[in-house]
Homo-oligomer: A and B are copies of this chain.
Amino acid sequence: MPKIIELDVLDIRFPTSRELDGSDAMNPDPDYSAAYVVLRTDEGPEGHGLAFTIGRGNDVQAAAIRALAPHLVGKDVPEDAKALAELYFELIGDSQIRWLGPEKGVAHMAIGAVVNAAWDLAARRAGLPVWRFLARMTPEEVVSLVDFRYLSDALTPDEALGILRAAEHGKAERADTVAREGYPAYTTSPGWLGYSDEKLATLARQAVADGFDMIKLKVGGSLDDDVRRMKLAREVVGDDVRVAVDANQRWDVGTAVRWMRELAPYDPYWIEEPTSPDDVLAHRAIADALAPIRVATGEHVQNRVVFKQLLQAGAIDVLQLDACRVAGVNENIAILLLARKFDIPVCPHAGGVGLCELVRHLSFFDYVAVSGEVGDRVIEWVDHLHEHFLDPAVVERGRYLAPARPGFSAQLKDETLADYVYPGGPVWTVLEERG
């Protein structure tokens, strides 16, 4: 049996703050970064994974991943659901590491990076992209991947099994369909807060020409600016294109309601992250006040327990899971099952570093084996940094193409790893010299 012989971690950072790509009301100057992990083996493929951060602290995130090495190095390469379940339960069950969360923040994202790297490794060995590797598993195997602790008041293992069994019918056909037709995307590229009105209008127009029927704007900096930008976007894209807005947690309940009422005349499709991602009750209050405007959140929702409550409370209309915020594929399967149980569409968060690459596997799997439908589901698309990936996400005519290469698509090119490693890589030493 091949073994994992090394867990290697790199601090990779891209100097994105220079261009204001990714700027929003809470994050004015992100340097998109990845705490990047490679599971090296004594035979066959490696496994690659990452945690996405926005600059400072990426070294701390890397240290947290490194601290998990004893759970992996010297162990058999995981090949199947059983091994991938065991690894996940071992990692979230390390009580000393758990104390650092529990199941949230730096320590939890570190588990996510490692779990996803293990899935990458297992899928590569199987010669399949992760979404097909997952879709091939039986309902019983999929259920075995999930930790139901803290979920049973909303979803039992039996109910999960029922959901998955119901989706067995038509699975092969749906896999063919999604491989052929892709999966709907929306684009955030026009809407960064640091962009001029002219750039916003140009990019919004371009998005529609490129085939997108939904775009997203960042809001929450200045109400006057937001009204002007929303009006402009609506004029440019017309009435048939959905325009979502995203406040990146800037508001409390009262501000969210007041602010969104000013934007309501321009028909915002959803308000994303109106307030703290920890605040189930505030999301519920905002959703009640703003209906029929949808409330969305998830990129910063720390774990399945908070998602469960958002669903139980009727606090969200759209669930935006993130491939790297929670404990990897295993926990995201729990979240997909919860969303299905409560009949709330999953529209994943993406962008960042590698999030588009990874998360499409989860949406493809959701369609094939969990929800069984696309409906109004849509994956976020941000068109930057893809050139650094070996198996980049590709969007054509507003749809994500199906990933076809074996694995989880997280692998960065060797030259990217060499150039952008922080602080010693040439990209950073040159910036340092320029001052």
A-side interface residues toward B, CB under 8 Å?
Answer: 26-31, 53-57, 59-61, 63-64, 67, 94-109, 149-153, 249, 252-254, 275-282, 285, 300, 302-303, 305-306, 308-309, 312-313
> What are 28 A-B contacts with C-beta separation under 8 Å?
A29-B95, A30-B96, A30-B99, A31-B96, A54-B95, A54-B96, A56-B67, A57-B96, A57-B97, A59-B63, A61-B100, A63-B63, A102-B277, A104-B104, A104-B302, A105-B106, A106-B107, A149-B252, A150-B252, A150-B279, A152-B252, A153-B252, A153-B253, A278-B303, A278-B305, A279-B308, A280-B281, A281-B313
> Please, which residues of chain B bring their CB within 8 A of the CB of A309?
278-281
The complex places the Cα of A300 from the Cα of B108 at a distance, in Å, of 15
Asked if B277 and A107 make an inter-chain contact with CB atoms under 8 angstroms apart, the answer reads no
Query: Min CB distance, A421 to chain B, in Å?
Result: 17
The complex places the Cα of A275 from the Cα of B151 at a distance, in Å, of 11
The answer to whether A60 and B26 touch (CB under 8 A), given A102-B300, A276-B150, is: no
Asked if B95 and A28 make an inter-chain contact with CB atoms under 8 angstroms apart, the answer reads yes
* Chain multiplicity (copies): 2
The answer to whether A99 and B280 touch (CB under 8 A), given A106-B107, A108-B105, A153-B254, is: no
- From B54, B100, B249, contact of A106 by CB (8 A): B100
> Please, which residues of chain B bring their CB within 8 A of the CB of A109?
100
The complex places the Cα of A186 from the Cα of B84 at a distance, in Å, of 44
Q: Which residue of B lies closest to A150 (CB)?
A: B276
Asked if B276 and A106 make an inter-chain contact with CB atoms under 8 angstroms apart, the answer reads no
Query: Min CB distance, A422 to chain B, in Å?
Result: 12
The complex places the Cα of A109 from the Cα of B108 at a distance, in Å, of 14
Asked if B67 and A59 make an inter-chain contact with CB atoms under 8 angstroms apart, the answer reads yes
Asked if A302 and B281 make an inter-chain contact with CB atoms under 8 angstroms apart, the answer reads no
The complex places the Cα of A132 from the Cα of B54 at a distance, in Å, of 40
Query: Min CB distance, A74 to chain B, in Å?
Result: 17
Asked if B278 and A57 make an inter-chain contact with CB atoms under 8 angstroms apart, the answer reads no
The complex places the Cα of A254 from the Cα of B156 at a distance, in Å, of 12
The answer to whether A106 and B64 touch (CB under 8 A), given A53-B100, A278-B302, is: yes
